[in-house]
Amino acid sequence: MKTKFFWILLATTFLAEFFLLFTFGAGKGENCQDPVAVNEVVQSVLKDWDHMETHQSRSGLDYVVLDNQEELVFATRRGLRENLHEAVRYWDTILDLKRDGVPVGKVIIQNPQERLLRSRRQQIVRFLMAALLLQAAVCIGYGIYWNRVLIRPFEKLRAFARRIAAGNLDVPLTMDRQNIFGAFTESFDLMRTELKRAQIAEAEASAGKKELIANLSHDIKTPVASIKAAAEVGAALARDEKNRDNYGQIIQKADQINTLVTNLFTSALEELSQLAVAPTELGSGEVKALLQNADYQKRASLPEFPPCLVAADRLRLQQVFDNLFTNSYKYAGTPITVSVSQRDRRLEIVLADSGGGVSEEELPFLKKKFWRGKDAGGLEGAGLGLYLSDYFMEKMGGELHLANGEHGLAATVVLKYI
Protein backbone atom coordinates (compact mmCIF):
# COMPACT_ATOMS: atom_id res chain seq x y z
CA MET A 1 0.00 0.00 0.00
CA LYS A 2 2.86 2.37 0.86
CA THR A 3 4.57 1.54 -2.43
CA LYS A 4 1.40 2.35 -4.40
CA PHE A 5 1.01 5.70 -2.60
CA PHE A 6 4.66 6.55 -3.35
CA TRP A 7 4.29 5.92 -7.08
CA ILE A 8 1.00 7.86 -7.26
CA LEU A 9 2.58 10.87 -5.52
CA LEU A 10 5.67 10.75 -7.70
CA ALA A 11 3.63 10.41 -10.94
CA THR A 12 1.36 13.30 -9.92
CA THR A 13 4.35 15.56 -9.30
CA PHE A 14 5.90 14.67 -12.66
CA LEU A 15 2.61 15.31 -14.49
CA ALA A 16 2.24 18.71 -12.82
CA GLU A 17 5.78 19.65 -13.84
CA PHE A 18 5.20 18.47 -17.40
CA PHE A 19 1.94 20.44 -17.65
CA LEU A 20 3.58 23.67 -16.48
CA LEU A 21 6.53 23.23 -18.82
CA PHE A 22 4.20 22.52 -21.74
CA THR A 23 2.04 25.55 -20.91
CA PHE A 24 5.06 27.81 -20.65
CA GLY A 25 6.63 26.43 -23.81
CA ALA A 26 3.44 26.67 -25.84
CA GLY A 27 2.63 30.20 -24.68
CA LYS A 28 3.01 32.98 -27.27
CA GLY A 29 5.52 35.71 -26.56
CA GLU A 30 4.74 38.07 -29.46
CA ASN A 31 3.84 41.70 -28.94
CA CYS A 32 0.13 42.12 -28.21
CA GLN A 33 -0.10 45.95 -27.97
CA ASP A 34 -3.41 47.83 -27.97
CA PRO A 35 -3.46 49.85 -31.25
CA VAL A 36 -5.61 52.59 -29.72
CA ALA A 37 -3.26 53.03 -26.78
CA VAL A 38 -0.23 53.00 -29.11
CA ASN A 39 -1.78 55.69 -31.34
CA GLU A 40 -2.59 57.78 -28.27
CA VAL A 41 1.06 57.60 -27.18
CA VAL A 42 2.32 58.73 -30.59
CA GLN A 43 -0.16 61.62 -30.82
CA SER A 44 0.53 62.83 -27.27
CA VAL A 45 4.30 62.75 -27.82
CA LEU A 46 4.05 64.69 -31.11
CA LYS A 47 1.76 67.18 -29.43
CA ASP A 48 4.22 67.76 -26.59
CA TRP A 49 7.43 67.44 -28.66
CA ASP A 50 8.55 71.00 -28.12
CA HIS A 51 8.15 70.76 -24.36
CA MET A 52 8.77 67.10 -23.49
CA GLU A 53 9.93 68.03 -20.01
CA THR A 54 6.27 68.55 -19.09
CA HIS A 55 4.97 65.53 -21.04
CA GLN A 56 2.93 63.02 -19.08
CA SER A 57 1.81 59.52 -20.08
CA ARG A 58 -1.94 59.00 -20.19
CA SER A 59 -2.11 55.60 -21.93
CA GLY A 60 -0.88 53.36 -19.11
CA LEU A 61 1.89 51.98 -21.37
CA ASP A 62 5.60 52.07 -20.62
CA TYR A 63 7.62 53.81 -23.36
CA VAL A 64 10.70 55.86 -24.06
CA VAL A 65 11.19 58.65 -26.59
CA LEU A 66 14.45 59.05 -28.51
CA ASP A 67 15.55 61.84 -30.83
CA ASN A 68 17.20 61.27 -34.23
CA GLN A 69 20.59 60.77 -32.51
CA GLU A 70 18.97 58.05 -30.38
CA GLU A 71 19.42 60.18 -27.26
CA LEU A 72 16.82 59.78 -24.52
CA VAL A 73 14.19 62.51 -24.52
CA PHE A 74 11.56 61.00 -22.22
CA ALA A 75 10.82 57.78 -20.28
CA THR A 76 7.70 56.90 -18.34
CA ARG A 77 9.89 55.33 -15.63
CA ARG A 78 13.45 54.29 -14.96
CA GLY A 79 14.87 50.96 -16.07
CA LEU A 80 13.20 50.83 -19.51
CA ARG A 81 15.07 49.73 -22.60
CA GLU A 82 16.56 52.72 -24.44
CA ASN A 83 18.53 50.83 -27.09
CA LEU A 84 16.96 49.93 -30.43
CA HIS A 85 18.79 46.60 -30.63
CA GLU A 86 17.49 45.61 -27.20
CA ALA A 87 14.02 46.75 -28.17
CA VAL A 88 14.08 44.52 -31.26
CA ARG A 89 15.33 41.60 -29.16
CA TYR A 90 12.40 41.89 -26.75
CA TRP A 91 9.81 42.55 -29.49
CA ASP A 92 9.10 46.09 -28.35
CA THR A 93 7.00 48.33 -30.62
CA ILE A 94 9.23 50.89 -32.40
CA LEU A 95 7.52 53.75 -34.21
CA ASP A 96 8.91 56.77 -36.06
CA LEU A 97 7.85 60.22 -34.92
CA LYS A 98 7.26 62.64 -37.84
CA ARG A 99 6.21 66.23 -37.83
CA ASP A 100 5.10 67.60 -41.16
CA GLY A 101 6.58 64.49 -42.79
CA VAL A 102 10.01 65.04 -41.24
CA PRO A 103 11.32 62.37 -38.81
CA VAL A 104 12.09 63.91 -35.42
CA GLY A 105 12.68 60.79 -33.35
CA LYS A 106 11.39 57.39 -32.30
CA VAL A 107 9.13 56.05 -29.60
CA ILE A 108 9.82 52.59 -28.13
CA ILE A 109 6.77 51.10 -26.47
CA GLN A 110 7.86 48.35 -24.13
CA ASN A 111 6.43 44.89 -24.78
CA PRO A 112 4.18 44.09 -21.77
CA GLN A 113 4.44 40.37 -22.48
CA GLU A 114 8.12 40.39 -21.50
CA ARG A 115 7.26 41.37 -17.91
CA LEU A 116 4.50 38.79 -17.81
CA LEU A 117 6.84 36.12 -19.15
CA ARG A 118 9.45 37.02 -16.57
CA SER A 119 6.84 36.76 -13.82
CA ARG A 120 5.59 33.43 -15.19
CA ARG A 121 9.14 32.18 -15.47
CA GLN A 122 9.84 33.03 -11.83
CA GLN A 123 6.62 31.34 -10.75
CA ILE A 124 7.49 28.21 -12.74
CA VAL A 125 11.04 28.13 -11.37
CA ARG A 126 9.66 28.38 -7.83
CA PHE A 127 7.15 25.63 -8.53
CA LEU A 128 9.77 23.37 -10.12
CA MET A 129 12.12 23.91 -7.18
CA ALA A 130 9.31 23.06 -4.77
CA ALA A 131 8.39 20.02 -6.87
CA LEU A 132 12.01 18.85 -6.99
CA LEU A 133 12.31 19.29 -3.22
CA LEU A 134 9.08 17.32 -2.80
CA GLN A 135 10.38 14.57 -5.09
CA ALA A 136 13.68 14.50 -3.21
CA ALA A 137 11.84 14.32 0.12
CA VAL A 138 9.60 11.53 -1.17
CA CYS A 139 12.56 9.57 -2.56
CA ILE A 140 14.60 10.07 0.63
CA GLY A 141 11.61 9.06 2.75
CA TYR A 142 11.02 6.02 0.58
CA GLY A 143 14.72 5.16 0.75
CA ILE A 144 14.61 5.39 4.56
CA TYR A 145 11.48 3.23 4.54
CA TRP A 146 13.12 0.56 2.38
CA ASN A 147 16.28 0.75 4.47
CA ARG A 148 14.18 0.06 7.56
CA VAL A 149 12.01 -2.72 6.12
CA LEU A 150 14.49 -4.35 3.71
CA ILE A 151 18.16 -3.45 4.02
CA ARG A 152 18.54 -3.42 7.82
CA PRO A 153 16.52 -6.65 8.29
CA PHE A 154 18.59 -8.25 5.53
CA GLU A 155 21.83 -7.15 7.22
CA LYS A 156 20.49 -8.54 10.50
CA LEU A 157 19.67 -11.85 8.77
CA ARG A 158 23.14 -11.95 7.21
CA ALA A 159 24.83 -11.33 10.58
CA PHE A 160 22.56 -13.96 12.12
CA ALA A 161 23.52 -16.45 9.39
CA ARG A 162 27.22 -15.79 10.07
CA ARG A 163 26.68 -16.55 13.74
CA ILE A 164 24.80 -19.72 12.95
CA ALA A 165 27.59 -20.78 10.56
CA ALA A 166 30.11 -20.12 13.34
CA GLY A 167 28.13 -22.37 15.68
CA ASN A 168 26.77 -19.61 17.92
CA LEU A 169 23.15 -20.56 18.61
CA ASP A 170 22.63 -18.60 21.84
CA VAL A 171 21.76 -15.17 20.42
CA PRO A 172 18.10 -15.04 19.26
CA LEU A 173 16.98 -13.18 16.16
CA THR A 174 14.63 -10.34 17.12
CA MET A 175 11.37 -10.48 15.18
CA ASP A 176 9.65 -7.54 13.46
CA ARG A 177 6.41 -8.54 11.76
CA GLN A 178 6.12 -5.08 10.13
CA ASN A 179 8.86 -5.66 7.56
CA ILE A 180 8.80 -8.04 4.61
CA PHE A 181 11.23 -10.39 6.37
CA GLY A 182 8.91 -10.86 9.35
CA ALA A 183 7.84 -14.41 8.48
CA PHE A 184 11.40 -15.37 7.49
CA THR A 185 12.70 -13.93 10.77
CA GLU A 186 10.36 -16.14 12.78
CA SER A 187 11.29 -19.19 10.69
CA PHE A 188 15.01 -18.48 11.05
CA ASP A 189 14.72 -18.16 14.82
CA LEU A 190 12.72 -21.41 14.98
CA MET A 191 15.55 -23.00 13.01
CA ARG A 192 18.06 -21.58 15.53
CA THR A 193 15.99 -22.98 18.42
CA GLU A 194 15.84 -26.43 16.84
CA LEU A 195 19.55 -26.36 16.04
CA LYS A 196 20.26 -25.29 19.61
CA ARG A 197 18.14 -28.14 20.94
CA ALA A 198 19.92 -30.57 18.62
CA GLN A 199 23.30 -29.14 19.64
CA ILE A 200 22.50 -29.58 23.34
CA ALA A 201 21.28 -33.13 22.71
CA GLU A 202 24.45 -33.86 20.74
CA ALA A 203 26.63 -32.33 23.46
CA GLU A 204 24.82 -34.34 26.13
CA ALA A 205 25.23 -37.52 24.07
CA SER A 206 28.89 -36.68 23.47
CA ALA A 207 29.40 -36.00 27.17
CA GLY A 208 27.66 -39.29 27.95
CA LYS A 209 29.95 -41.13 25.57
CA LYS A 210 32.98 -39.49 27.09
CA GLU A 211 31.78 -40.39 30.57
CA LEU A 212 31.20 -43.96 29.39
CA ILE A 213 34.72 -44.03 27.94
CA ALA A 214 36.14 -42.71 31.22
CA ASN A 215 34.23 -45.30 33.26
CA LEU A 216 35.22 -48.12 30.90
CA SER A 217 38.81 -46.94 31.01
CA HIS A 218 38.76 -47.11 34.78
CA ASP A 219 36.99 -50.48 34.76
CA ILE A 220 39.43 -51.90 32.21
CA LYS A 221 42.54 -50.51 33.87
CA THR A 222 41.66 -52.06 37.24
CA PRO A 223 41.63 -55.75 36.12
CA VAL A 224 44.56 -55.09 33.76
CA ALA A 225 46.54 -53.75 36.70
CA SER A 226 45.59 -56.86 38.68
CA ILE A 227 46.66 -59.12 35.81
CA LYS A 228 49.94 -57.25 35.50
CA ALA A 229 50.59 -57.49 39.24
CA ALA A 230 49.84 -61.25 39.23
CA ALA A 231 52.13 -61.71 36.22
CA GLU A 232 54.92 -59.85 37.93
CA VAL A 233 54.54 -62.13 41.00
CA GLY A 234 54.47 -65.17 38.73
CA ALA A 235 57.58 -64.01 36.90
CA ALA A 236 59.38 -63.54 40.20
CA LEU A 237 58.43 -67.07 41.38
CA ALA A 238 59.02 -68.83 38.04
CA ARG A 239 61.68 -71.53 38.22
CA ASP A 240 62.50 -71.79 34.54
CA GLU A 241 63.19 -69.35 31.72
CA LYS A 242 60.17 -70.38 29.64
CA ASN A 243 57.68 -69.50 32.38
CA ARG A 244 59.44 -66.20 33.04
CA ASP A 245 59.16 -65.35 29.29
CA ASN A 246 55.44 -66.19 29.34
CA TYR A 247 54.87 -63.94 32.34
CA GLY A 248 56.92 -61.26 30.63
CA GLN A 249 54.61 -61.44 27.58
CA ILE A 250 51.60 -61.04 29.87
CA ILE A 251 53.17 -57.96 31.50
CA GLN A 252 54.00 -56.47 28.10
CA LYS A 253 50.46 -56.96 26.76
CA ALA A 254 48.99 -55.50 29.95
CA ASP A 255 51.11 -52.38 29.46
CA GLN A 256 50.02 -52.23 25.81
CA ILE A 257 46.34 -52.47 26.78
CA ASN A 258 46.82 -49.74 29.40
CA THR A 259 48.46 -47.45 26.79
CA LEU A 260 45.68 -48.04 24.23
CA VAL A 261 42.96 -47.31 26.80
CA THR A 262 44.74 -44.11 27.84
CA ASN A 263 45.06 -43.01 24.19
CA LEU A 264 41.37 -43.76 23.61
CA PHE A 265 40.34 -41.63 26.56
CA THR A 266 42.67 -38.78 25.59
CA SER A 267 41.64 -38.69 21.91
CA ALA A 268 37.96 -38.55 22.88
CA LEU A 269 38.59 -35.23 24.62
CA GLU A 270 40.95 -33.61 22.11
CA GLU A 271 38.54 -32.82 19.24
CA LEU A 272 37.43 -29.59 20.93
CA SER A 273 40.92 -28.18 20.43
CA GLN A 274 40.76 -28.44 16.63
CA LEU A 275 38.88 -25.13 16.12
CA ALA A 276 40.92 -22.74 13.98
CA VAL A 277 41.88 -19.32 15.41
CA ALA A 278 43.57 -16.77 13.10
CA PRO A 279 44.36 -13.45 14.85
CA THR A 280 44.48 -10.35 12.62
CA GLU A 281 44.73 -6.60 13.14
CA LEU A 282 41.53 -5.25 14.73
CA GLY A 283 40.71 -1.66 15.71
CA SER A 284 39.25 -0.78 19.10
CA GLY A 285 36.15 0.59 17.33
CA GLU A 286 35.57 -2.84 15.77
CA VAL A 287 35.99 -4.47 19.20
CA LYS A 288 33.30 -2.12 20.56
CA ALA A 289 31.02 -3.07 17.65
CA LEU A 290 31.47 -6.78 18.52
CA LEU A 291 30.44 -6.01 22.11
CA GLN A 292 27.34 -4.17 20.87
CA ASN A 293 26.42 -7.14 18.66
CA ALA A 294 26.77 -9.54 21.58
CA ASP A 295 24.56 -7.45 23.91
CA TYR A 296 21.33 -8.25 22.08
CA GLN A 297 19.21 -7.53 25.19
CA LYS A 298 20.85 -4.08 25.50
CA ARG A 299 21.70 -4.47 29.19
CA ALA A 300 25.13 -2.83 28.99
CA SER A 301 26.17 0.78 28.48
CA LEU A 302 29.47 0.80 26.60
CA PRO A 303 32.15 3.41 27.41
CA GLU A 304 34.37 5.13 24.86
CA PHE A 305 37.22 2.91 23.67
CA PRO A 306 40.74 4.38 23.39
CA PRO A 307 42.04 4.27 19.80
CA CYS A 308 44.37 1.30 19.39
CA LEU A 309 45.02 -1.84 17.32
CA VAL A 310 44.83 -5.30 18.89
CA ALA A 311 45.50 -8.85 17.73
CA ALA A 312 42.23 -10.79 17.53
CA ASP A 313 40.21 -13.18 15.40
CA ARG A 314 36.97 -11.28 14.70
CA LEU A 315 34.80 -14.43 14.59
CA ARG A 316 36.29 -16.02 17.72
CA LEU A 317 36.27 -12.76 19.69
CA GLN A 318 32.58 -12.37 18.79
CA GLN A 319 32.01 -15.88 20.17
CA VAL A 320 33.82 -14.96 23.39
CA PHE A 321 31.65 -11.86 23.91
CA ASP A 322 28.51 -13.80 22.95
CA ASN A 323 29.30 -16.49 25.53
CA LEU A 324 29.98 -13.94 28.28
CA PHE A 325 26.78 -11.96 27.64
CA THR A 326 24.68 -15.12 27.26
CA ASN A 327 25.98 -16.51 30.56
CA SER A 328 25.21 -13.22 32.30
CA TYR A 329 21.69 -13.15 30.85
CA LYS A 330 21.14 -16.78 31.86
CA TYR A 331 22.58 -16.89 35.37
CA ALA A 332 22.54 -13.27 36.62
CA GLY A 333 19.80 -11.49 34.66
CA THR A 334 21.00 -8.04 35.77
CA PRO A 335 22.38 -4.95 34.02
CA ILE A 336 25.99 -5.37 32.94
CA THR A 337 28.73 -2.84 33.66
CA VAL A 338 31.44 -2.59 30.99
CA SER A 339 34.74 -0.81 31.65
CA VAL A 340 37.82 -0.43 29.44
CA SER A 341 41.42 0.31 30.41
CA GLN A 342 44.93 0.12 28.96
CA ARG A 343 47.82 -1.52 30.79
CA ASP A 344 51.24 -2.73 29.63
CA ARG A 345 50.30 -2.44 25.92
CA ARG A 346 47.15 -4.45 26.50
CA LEU A 347 43.48 -3.57 26.22
CA GLU A 348 41.46 -4.86 29.19
CA ILE A 349 37.67 -5.09 28.93
CA VAL A 350 35.76 -5.95 32.12
CA LEU A 351 32.14 -7.18 32.03
CA ALA A 352 30.59 -7.26 35.50
CA ASP A 353 27.03 -8.21 36.51
CA SER A 354 25.18 -7.89 39.82
CA GLY A 355 24.07 -11.50 40.19
CA GLY A 356 25.99 -12.27 43.37
CA GLY A 357 28.81 -14.20 41.67
CA VAL A 358 29.73 -17.83 42.37
CA SER A 359 31.17 -19.59 45.39
CA GLU A 360 34.93 -19.48 45.84
CA GLU A 361 35.00 -23.29 45.62
CA GLU A 362 33.43 -23.24 42.13
CA LEU A 363 35.40 -20.30 40.73
CA PRO A 364 38.52 -22.30 39.66
CA PHE A 365 36.34 -24.77 37.73
CA LEU A 366 34.33 -22.30 35.61
CA LYS A 367 36.64 -22.72 32.60
CA LYS A 368 36.83 -26.50 32.83
CA LYS A 369 35.45 -28.60 29.97
CA PHE A 370 31.89 -29.91 30.53
CA TRP A 371 31.78 -28.42 34.01
CA ARG A 372 28.57 -26.77 35.15
CA GLY A 373 27.97 -25.14 38.52
CA LYS A 374 25.28 -25.94 41.05
CA ASP A 375 23.21 -22.94 39.83
CA ALA A 376 22.94 -24.47 36.34
CA GLY A 377 20.16 -26.89 37.27
CA GLY A 378 17.21 -26.63 34.89
CA LEU A 379 19.09 -24.30 32.49
CA GLU A 380 20.20 -25.49 29.08
CA GLY A 381 23.89 -25.69 28.31
CA ALA A 382 26.74 -28.08 27.72
CA GLY A 383 29.46 -26.59 29.96
CA LEU A 384 31.65 -25.60 27.00
CA GLY A 385 31.14 -21.83 26.60
CA LEU A 386 33.77 -20.56 29.03
CA TYR A 387 36.13 -23.43 28.19
CA LEU A 388 36.06 -22.49 24.49
CA SER A 389 36.27 -18.76 25.29
CA ASP A 390 39.41 -19.37 27.34
CA TYR A 391 40.82 -21.52 24.54
CA PHE A 392 40.12 -18.82 21.91
CA MET A 393 41.68 -16.05 24.02
CA GLU A 394 44.80 -18.15 24.59
CA LYS A 395 45.17 -18.79 20.84
CA MET A 396 44.77 -15.04 20.15
CA GLY A 397 47.59 -14.26 22.58
CA GLY A 398 45.14 -12.78 25.08
CA GLU A 399 43.63 -13.88 28.36
CA LEU A 400 40.27 -14.49 30.01
CA HIS A 401 40.01 -13.99 33.78
CA LEU A 402 36.96 -14.76 35.94
CA ALA A 403 36.57 -13.39 39.44
CA ASN A 404 33.92 -12.34 41.91
CA GLY A 405 33.51 -8.57 41.76
CA GLU A 406 31.79 -6.19 44.13
CA HIS A 407 28.25 -7.25 43.23
CA GLY A 408 28.66 -10.29 40.99
CA LEU A 409 30.86 -12.16 38.55
CA ALA A 410 33.42 -10.08 36.63
CA ALA A 411 34.94 -11.39 33.39
CA THR A 412 38.09 -9.66 32.11
CA VAL A 413 39.01 -10.03 28.43
CA VAL A 414 42.63 -9.06 27.77
CA LEU A 415 43.75 -8.28 24.20
CA LYS A 416 47.36 -7.52 23.36
CA TYR A 417 48.34 -4.57 21.15
CA ILE A 418 49.74 -5.05 17.67
The values of phi and psi at residue 208, to 5°, are -65, -40
CB-count burial class (<10 Å; 0-12, 13-18, 19+) for 169: buried
- pLDDT average, residue stretch 352-364: 88
Q: Write down the pLDDT at residue 275.
A: 66
The CATH architecture that domain 280-416 belongs to is: 2-Layer Sandwich (3.30)
Q: 255 by DSSP, 3-state: which?
A: helix
CB 384 within 8 A of CB 203: yes
**Cα distance between residue 176 and residue 184, in whole Å:** 10
**Cα distance between residue 340 and residue 354, in whole Å:** 18
Name which of 19-23, 260-264, 265-269, 314-318 the model is least confident about: 265-269
**Cα distance between residue 400 and residue 418, in whole Å:** 18
Residue 234 has pLDDT above 80, yes or no: yes
**Cα distance between residue 62 and residue 41, in whole Å:** 10
Q: Following CA atoms 305, 310, 316, 322 in sequence, which dihedral angle do they give, to the nearest 10 degrees?
A: -10
CB 173 within 8 A of CB 188: yes
Residue 334 has pLDDT above 80, yes or no: yes
User: Contacts for 359-365 with beta carbons within 8 Å, 24 or more apart?
Assistant: 360/404, 363/402, 363/403, 363/404
pLDDT in tens, 30-55: 556 788 889 999 999 999 998 888 89
DSSP character string of 42-53: HHHHHHTGGGGG
Domain range annotation of the chain: 35-110, 199-274, 280-416
Q: What is the pTM of this model?
A: 0.45
